[in-house]
Amino acid sequence: MATIHAQIIGDTALLPRDELERLVELARRYEEIDLQMQNDDAPTATMMRLAEISGAFDFWKEEENIYQ
């Protein structure tokens, strides 16, 4: 038996979710598969949006851009 561990963030697991499911389907044709998926509660894009709207980094807008 093969065991597949996959961490899912939104619809992505190192490859699009539908491609992962297709690979698992193909593997199951040849042997029993134990697919263990872990879904993140807060995808990266959601966390980035929360930081953006929270105003926690608004002080950067007032700083001079020293990197130009």
E strand segments, 1-68:
2-8, 33-39
- Please work out, in degrees rounded to the nearest 5, the angle formed at the alpha carbon of residue 29 by the alpha carbons of 27 and 32: 70
Domain-embedded: residue 9: yes
CA–CA distance, 2 with 35 (Å, rounded to integer): 8
Looking at residue 2, its pLDDT comes to: 66
pTM for the whole thing? 0.44
Q: Residue 41 is part of which domain span?
A: 2-62
Question: 38: closest CA among 14, 62, 67?
Answer: 14
Looking at residue 60, its pLDDT comes to: 73
Domain-embedded: residue 25: yes
Residue 68 has pLDDT above 70, yes or no: no
Domain-embedded: residue 67: no
Looking at residue 63, its pLDDT comes to: 67
Residue 14 has pLDDT above 70, yes or no: no
Cα R_g (the chain), whole angstroms: 20
Domain-embedded: residue 68: no
Instruction: Write the single-letter amino acid at 7.
Output: Q
Domain-embedded: residue 28: yes
Number of domains in the chain: 1
Dump pLDDT digits (tens) for 17-57: 788 888 888 888 988 888 777 666 667 777 777 778 888 77
